[in-house]
A = this chain, B = another copy of it.
C-alpha cells in the first residue's frame, strides 16, 4: 500500500540515483550523517563507491538531497485547514497521515529524528523560518477552535508535539516496539494503533472520534 514509482521509461541514471537514495536513507538512518560510510551506501546499492560519488558529488550533498526529499513528506492536508473545518476530522486525519509515514517511510522518519537529535546542523535558516511560520499558522487555527468552544482549552504547541512524538515513535523506536511486543507491526496493527492514538488525542481534547477511526 505504500506509494512506489513507475519503473517504465526511466533512464539508467534515474534508476541508479534512486537505488543510491534508498541505500543512503537506510545507512543514514542506521548511523547518522557522520557515522554513515559512503562505501556501505555503495555496497547496499550494489554499485561501486565511485559510482555513488559520480551521481552525488559528495556524501554531504547526498545527505542534503535526501533531507530535502524528506522535508517534503511532512506536507499534509492539515497545512490548509482553517477555523471553519471540523477539528475532529482534521486532527484525526493528520494523526493518520503521520502514522502512515511511520509505516511506509520509517527510515525517513529515523533520518529526520537523527538530524534533530544531533542539533539540526543541516537544516538551514530558510527551513527553520518556514517551519516556524507554519507552526504559528497552525497554532492560530487551533486557538480559534478553542475560542469557538470546539476544542478543550490546551496549549496548541504541546498538542502538536504530542501528535508528532507518538506517531513518529512507531517508526523511530520500531526496534524496541517489536522487541517488546514480541512481533513486528503489521498493517493491521498499524491501523489499530492509529485508532488507539486518535482516540487518545481527540478524547484528550474533548473531541469525539470520527466513525472511521473507531
Chain B nearest CB, measured from A128 CB (Å): 6
User: Is the interface on chain A under 10, 10 to 19, 20 to 34, or 35 or more residues?
Assistant: 35 or more
Report chain B residues within 8 Å CB of A118.
30-32, 35
Q: Which of the candidate stretches A16-24, A44-52, A75-83, A109-117 sits at the interface with the other chain?
A: A109-117
Known contacts A34-B31, A35-B31; A157 and B173 CB within 8 A of each other: no
Chain B nearest CB, measured from A50 CB (Å): 23
* Contact pattern, A 160-184, Cβ under 8 Å of B = 1, otherwise 0: 0110111011101101110111100
Copies assembled: 2
A113 and B113 contacting across the interface, CB-CB below 8 Å: yes
Find the B residue at minimum CB distance from A166. Answer: B165
Q: When chains A and B are docked, how far (Å) is the Cα of A138 from the Cα of B118?
A: 32
Residue among A32, A36, A177, A192 facing the most chain B CB atoms (10 A cut-off): A32
Report chain B residues within 8 Å CB of A161.
166, 169-170, 173, 177
Find the B residue at minimum CB distance from A135. Answer: B180
Q: When chains A and B are docked, how far (Å) is the Cα of A35 from the Cα of B175?
A: 21
Report chain B residues within 8 Å CB of A179.
120, 128, 131-132
Between-chain CB contacts (< 8 Å), 24 pairs: A30-B118, A34-B35, A35-B35, A110-B117, A113-B113, A113-B172, A114-B114, A116-B172, A117-B172, A119-B175, A120-B175, A128-B179, A135-B180, A154-B196, A154-B200, A155-B196, A157-B181, A158-B196, A161-B169, A164-B173, A165-B169, A200-B200, A203-B203, A203-B204
